[in-house]
Amino acid sequence: MDKEALKLLRKGKTLTLQTDTQQSFESPFALERGLVVIVPSHTKEERLRFSIKGKDETLVGIGKLSLLGKPRDLSKERGLLIYRNPSSLPLIKQDEVRVGKVVIEELSMEKNGKLKPEEVQEDLLFENTSLKYVRALKPWTFQQTLTSAVIAALISPNIDVPLLLLIMVTLLLAHSVFNMMNDYFDSLSSLDKPESMGSMGSRVLVDKLIDARTHKIYMAGVSLTGLLLAAYILSIRPYVVPYFALGLLCGGLYSVPRYGLRWVGLGDLAIFLAWGPGIFLGTYVSMGGRPDLAVDSVAVSMGLLVTAIAHINNWRDMRDELDAGVRSVASLLGDTLSLYYYLILIYSPYPLFGLAVALDHSLFPLLGSYLTIPWAIRLTKVVFRQDDPRRNRLDLETAKFTALHMYFTAALLLLFKIAAMREPSVLLQTSLCHAFENPESIL
């Protein structure tokens, strides 16, 4: 098997299957000494053709299909499919599909109208799951943590870049540990189920990509590293201890089974406190800032935006969580009030940022967040339409919205911070950059 054919097998996301009865359908696939695929439940075990399209070539073959069972009953195969192609999750969660395995009998590469036979080497047909340890950390959730810290530093009196970088690394390690704790406790409590777990989960435990013992050892190692870095930061910035303690308390007690904050209706409050006063104000104070009403308004906004992500996940899973004994804010409010609570979470930051700018004109770049209003309106339309397919991706869409909110804010803050650091000129003195550097000049 040449490199080009192997590359298509390793990098492709979907393939086309065609049965002898000329029935044709698309399927995600994974490698496991053959092709692991998803087929309609009425599909028969038979020989079929398959094709995987590349940029200028197509890999075609013939193989024997065997049906293995329902996705929810096959953790290994389900895990490989989702690991390779996370967007296949909605299809895999459907009840009317089955997992199948195609044992490849013939394989050819079609390019420029010519067909070149390929040797079938089953020992090369396997998934490289080495990134499962990165996936266990859920790095796609880090952006809100990083941008919160960056925004706090940008509005602070002084930016200590080495310290900021150290704080960001420590925050990422802490966030990773709390993500892993959440996954571990949810798996232990059977809250995470193959058919109900959303696209924001790592799925490394529920799909058995990592066993529970290895997961705990890995979590302990990340925890120790984070605590050592935190101890050093606290030794040079002891006045940050209250913010560190608040974040540690909220994160550590969030998902403990039965008694954790999440289980007793305080999960949203914990998220809000961790990202608002904890991360944002903690970073701001470590840079030498002294919180006031304007800065507190920004901190509240940061907390609300991240709480919106947590709420949308709890809202989606509230029936499963109620069955397990979890009392989230979403389950206490019910569907209708959860919808309006969600809208409050995503719209409240706009007037709060406006208040911050009114109190401190040097914060006017925060108004860059208003560029995300069209995205907020789009999310509003989605939550009011029960049949909108985007509701299945509302957790991801909300995460993207909050990330954009923070990106626009951070980008404008950085732009004007750089401009204000330059030597003043006539242009600067008459520009908004001058207002950023000397806010009293516009009072």
pLDDT at 7: 85
- Residue position matching structure tokens 């067909």: 115
**pLDDT tens, position by position, 263-286:** 899 999 999 999 988 999 999 999
| Confidence check: pLDDT of 164 > 90 | yes
Collapsing DSSP states into helix, strand and coil, what is residue 135?
A: helix
196 falls in which pLDDT band (50, 70, 90)?
low
| Confidence check: pLDDT of 226 > 60 | yes
pLDDT at 298: 95
Whether residue 51 contacts residue 26, with contact meaning beta carbons closer than 8 Å, is answered with no
Domain 3-128 of CATH type 2.30.110.10: yes
160 falls in which pLDDT band (50, 70, 90)?
very high
**pLDDT tens, position by position, 315-355:** 887 887 787 788 889 989 998 999 999 999 999 999 999 99
All structural domains of the chain with their residue ranges: 3-128, 133-403
Which comes out higher in pLDDT, residue 23 or 126?
126
> What is the pairing mode between strands 35-40 and 97-111?
antiparallel
**Of 440, 413, 428, 431, which Cα lies nearest the Cα of 149?**
413
**Type of residue numbered 30:** A
Residue 8 token pair? 């298509």
Distance CA 35, CA 101 (A): 5
Cα angle value 245/251/254 (rounded, 5°): 130
pLDDT at 287: 94
Residue 200 token pair? 């924001």
**Of 179, 171, 160, which Cα lies nearest the Cα of 219?**
179
**Of 196, 220, 216, which Cα lies nearest the Cα of 206?**
196
Distance CA 50, CA 24 (A): 9
pLDDT at 77: 87
Phi then psi for residue 63, to 5 deg, are -155, 170
195 falls in which pLDDT band (50, 70, 90)?
low
Cα angle value 337/340/345 (rounded, 5°): 125
Whether residue 97 contacts residue 73, with contact meaning beta carbons closer than 8 Å, is answered with no
Distance CA 37, CA 216 (A): 31
